[in-house]
Chains A and B, each alone.
Chain A
Amino acid sequence: NAGVMQNPRHLVRRRGQEARLRCSPMKGHSHVYWYRQLPEEGLKFMVYLQKENIIDESGMPKERFSAEFPKEGPSILRIQQVVRGDSAAYFCASSPARRVGTDTQYFGPGTRLTVL
């Protein structure tokens, strides 16, 4: 059973460009979470999605950031008009179900975004 997959692993963008980060959850998992890790800091929650639904986006910046998890295909975190402050590692996690006490989150290897 393959783990959570993220691609690309490394992404370099110039200021003003768009960044698209992809996450394929573990097989059988229908819940996806995105976290951001700034240098020398812990992970900060950004958004929680189920298929075709955003459940909690309380950690998403109000502008330039969006996320989706379509019926088919991976979850996408999209950052428009990137700025240097967006440079970070972005981690995706997945869990099997929305059952309290059993929905352990399993993390992918992350995408390291560098904005020049």
Chain B
Amino acid sequence: AQSVTQPDIHITVSEGASLELRCNYSYGATPYLFWYVQSPGQGLQLLLKYFSGDTLVQGIKGFEAEFKRSQSSFNLRKPSVHWSDAAEYFCAVGASNFGNEKLTFGTGTRLTIIP
């Protein structure tokens, strides 16, 4: 069974600073990996996804993530955060085989931006 670990429950960064949110996964085969963002009281918006190919994927809002198979990681990065990036970020893993289409989510990282 797959699992996801987001080791940082809460991160605070200054506006304009760089950001890296950590995500480690456990899955026996090639995973499909996702980052979603959730603003307070809202649903989840897809930031980016990795299925195959280039291990550095670009997403919306200036985010990118790098798949590192050797480290079982899929960390999310942004070179310069904006106050509007304050939200909860969820990493998720999906299976690569039929019959197991569900997503398994991490517990999330809450991002606070200070002026």
Contact = CB atoms under 8 A, between A and B. Distances in A.
Interface size class of A (residues with CB under 8 A): 20 to 34
B97 interface: yes
Given A42-B90, A100-B96, A100-B97, A105 B43 contact: no
Interface stretch (A12-20, A43-51, A62-70, A77-85): A43-51
Q: What DSSP secondary structure best describes chain B's contact surface?
A: loop
A52 interface: no
Nearest to A56: B102
Interface stretch (B59-67, B73-81, B105-113): B105-113
Contacts of A44: 105
Interface of A: 4, 31, 33, 35, 41-45, 48, 55-56, 58-59, 91, 93, 95, 98, 100-110, 112
A102 B34 CA distance: 12
Interface residues of B, number: 27
Given A42-B90, A42-B106, A103 B101 contact: yes
Interface of B: 32, 34, 36, 41-46, 49, 51-52, 90, 92, 96-108
A91 B90 contact: no
Contacts of B100: 56
B90 A110 contact: no
